[in-house]
Structures are given as structure tokens and as C-alpha cells.
Amino acid sequence: MGIRAGAVGAGLAFMSVFAVGCSDEPRTVEPPEQQEPGPPLGNEVPPESPPLPPGEDGTPPAPVPDEETEPGPDEPQRAGPWPVEAMLDYTQRFGTGTPQSVGLDEGLNLWLLDGGRIGVLRPGDTAPTWSSGIGQARQPFGRESLAIGSTVICGGEAGRAYVGYRAAEMKRAAGISQRTYIPGPGEDDYTPERYAEYQKGDLDAVRLQPDGSVVLEEHIWRTTGLPNAGKQLGIHNTNDLHYEEDRSILNCARVTRGPHRGDLYVTTNHGVTRIQGLTYNSHRHPGWYLITEKPDGTKAESLQCPPMYGLGIAKNGDVLVANEQMLGVLVPSSRLEDWDRENTWAGPTPWTFKGFNEALNGQAADDYWRAFEQTASGRYYLGSAEFGVWAMTPRSRSAGNWSKLAGLPSERILSLKATDDGALYIGTQGAGLWRLEPDGVTLAQVPQVAGQSVLQLVYEPTVTPSMLLVLTDQGLTVLRGP
């Protein structure tokens, strides 16, 4: 087990945990009178985070392109097989319909997810080929089934995609204190019914066939952790398989360039998991302890690690994550085994930022982050489902300078995407697609994109012109060249 705890500001304790589960108690919406650091747990970080190298105004420098972020011999720019019109409605041209999620694989096959159906539009096709009843969708969706429903799709290597599913929260079992704890065969309190919970939700890898159809390649289960070796139990805690914490896939992103090109990140109801091929390592999350006082005067602590929807890959390869209350920036190493080795500001996969938006809400209140991006200027942007778009520049490792973006007609943000021309595309719920220019001030709607709610933005920078997939409630539009 590995726990790293530290205090950030007065009366706040946050930490990252990857071998124990979050509290089963409901999360507090309003903060109590005082939140105190938890008890010493070993290998702790200093109470006050050392500041970042100061700038004149506290703004970090923009990412500097280097050999890892610029196309190398193994990453040639290519024209790609798709039309190069500046803007093209794929729903009208190719009949892609109104899917819930889309993705491109390394071969530039376009993947579509619509409930229990998976569609593929291959280069040269005039319409997608749809397949149904695959993997976790082979049973009707429901709380007692393999999944409540499908969530997202992301491309992988050429001809492969990953499909995420949502599972019901586990119920507490008699004799088991942790709701997410599952005893195995031969252990106390083992039951086949509870053990079967491992098979629900999670992630399928699917394969494209020569005729355009799709088949299940494998339900993801291979891990880097020795305690899990050989056990086909889906995605769960890598360090201790007893904790079935990552049951619902909420977002996904494929790394499109740099030394980690091809890696996949998925966010879940608990954290962010890294995947290479068919092998995963779970999970990292910016969490914190809520300390409350019981009537008898003793103190109780509950780990707060709410669902994580916000996910972005910076141009330099940093992994940007945001759950309902906190956000963080992780630097991945070259080794998948290192992903869950939590040592906060140090170690092989350190956080370079971990904090919350103190200008918006208290630590215990939800900010409903749905998207997290870094533009070419180096500035971070977060989109909230309730509170609009916020710009942030770190002033230390755990605190930032925050400002709300003015001028948007909707506070409900579903998606963001930074593009190589320095712009930020903003997907709203109810007011369509907007573009923030590289100056960080000029804001304008993109009226040619059909639809009022922008569900997803997917960027493919390896083709010339680059591709921005804009999925709305009216279908799919592709912009070339941003």
C-alpha cells in the first residue's frame, strides 16, 4: 500500500492513494468549519509546496517544442485520406448519424459509438459499417448486466479501438467494510456473486475486420502489478486486486505524438489509468482527506476522490486530469510500470501541479470539471458543466492564478480542445461551438457547425491539414487546419 499525504493551505489535506478505496460515505458538498491534515502516514510531502520558478507575473513559460513534440522520422506529417475542405459535415456526406462518441485510430479509420453499436468508416468508404452486441454490449444494458451503458470510444493502433462502459456502484456486502472490496476464492467472505462484479463495466479492445465489421479483441484485464498476474478481472486497482474501484470509463484520449505516441489514457469514476496495447496500470488521482469531528469528540477522515471527466494531453506529453473537485498535471515516464508509483512531487511520474480552484469554490464543493487543456501559450483552461471556462496559471505547485473567461453565452461546458495554431475550441451545451483566439481574448462562435450541444472534440495533428472532429447533438463535422 502506498499513501502520500500533505497539507495545502490552512486546514486542507490532499493526497493520492492507489491501494485503498475511497470512503463509502456520501461526499460533503459544503465544507465543515475546519478541515485538518490527516494523521502522519509515512513518506509525506512538505506541508507547503515549494513554488515554481518565478516569472515576472507568475505565468509559466509556454511549452518549448523539442525533438519529442515535433514530428520525427517515425512521425511523418501526412495528407491523410479524408477530404481537406476547411469544414465538412460528415453526417451529411458519409451518413455517420448522431453517435455519442467518435475517435480516430493510427490508420485514420473513423470509429463511431452509438449505444450498443460500433461503427467504422474506413478511408474510401461512402458510409460506416455497423456492428452490434460486442463485448460488454453482448447483454442488454442494465444495473445487473455487464454494463449500464456504453460511454466513449477511442482509436488505438491501426484497426483497433477501445470502448468504455459504465457499471453500477457496488453495494456493501455483509462482513465487508469497504464497498469496493472483493474477496477472492478461498478468502473470508468470498461469494461467486460478488466476485462476478469484476466483469462489469470497464473497457473493451475491439478489432476491425476486412469486411468492415468489428469483433471483440479482448476485455482489458492484463496488468503490470504482480498481485494481478494472470487474473482476468477487468480494470481494477493494480496494486491490490481486491479493490474494484475503476468500474466506469468516463473519458479517453490517445497520445498522438512524442515518445509515448499510441498510449491511451482513460478516466474513470475513481482516477486516470494508462494503457499500452492490451496492458494497463491504474490509477492516479488528485485526492484529499476530509476531516470531521464525531459527537464523541473523535475525528473521522474520508478520502475524497470523485469521478474524473477532465482529461487532456499537453503538446509536451503531460497528462492533464480533473475530477469534480481537483485537478492535476502528471509527467509520464517511459515505463508503464511507473504510472501508479505515487511520490507526489518526485518519483518517476510526478505531479507538477495538484490543487483546486479556490477562486470558484471551497475544496469540498464540486466544480464539475469536464475538460482540461493547455494552449500553445502555456496557459491552462478548464471547462465546467456548471461554471463556464476558467484560465489558470500556476503560482506554486498547488495553487494557481484563476480567471473566468467572459463572453460565452452558456456556462455549461462539455468539451475543450487546444489546437496547434494556438486557439482553444470550446464546446458548450446549448450554444454551439466557440473559438478563443491565441491572444486569449478574442472569442467568436463557429456558426457553420450544426448543433447546439458539442459533446466531444477530437484533434488529430499528424495529418496536413490537421483534423478537428466536432461531435454535436446534430452529428459530426470535421474542421481541417486549426
How much is the pTM?
Answer: 0.85
Give the residue carrying C-alpha cell 466506469: 248
Count, residues in the chain: 482
DSSP letter string over 203-240?
A: EEEEEE-TTS-EEEEEES-EES-GGGTT----S--SS-
Q: Which residues contact 382 (CB under 8 A, 6 or more apart)?
A: 310, 322, 327, 357, 367, 369, 371, 372, 389, 390, 392, 416
Please report, in angstroms and rounded to a whole number, the separation of the first and last CA atoms in the chain. Answer: 45
Amino acid at 4: R
Q: Which is nearest to 328 in space by CA: 236, 419, 397, 424?
A: 397
Instruction: For residue 183, give the C-alpha cell.
Output: 474477496
Q: Are strands 308-313 and 319-323 parallel, antiparallel or unpaired?
A: antiparallel
Instruction: State which amino acid sits at residue 406.
Output: A
CA distance 387 to 375: 20
Amino acid at 268: T
Q: Nine-digit cell at 259? A: 515518445
Instruction: Profile the chain (482 residues) by mean pLDDT over runs of 10 residues.
Output: 29 36 41 31 30 37 38 61 97 98 98 98 98 98 97 98 97 90 95 96 98 98 87 92 95 97 97 98 88 85 89 97 97 96 91 96 94 98 98 97 98 98 98 98 96 98 97 98 95
Helix, strand, coil in percent for the chain, rounding step 5: 5, 40, 60
Please give the pLDDT value at position 273. 98
Fill in the DSSP letter of residue 64. P
Tell me the CA distances in angstroms from 302 to 143, 173, 272, 289, 290, one per residue in order: 27, 19, 20, 6, 5
* Helical spans, DSSP H, in 138-179: none
d(CA 170, CA 314): 34
What pLDDT was estimated at residue 68? 38
Residue 204's contacts (CB-CB under 8 Å, 6 or more residues apart) are 134, 135, 136, 162, 163, 165, 216, 217, 218, 219, 220
Residue pointed to by grid coordinates 467494510: 177
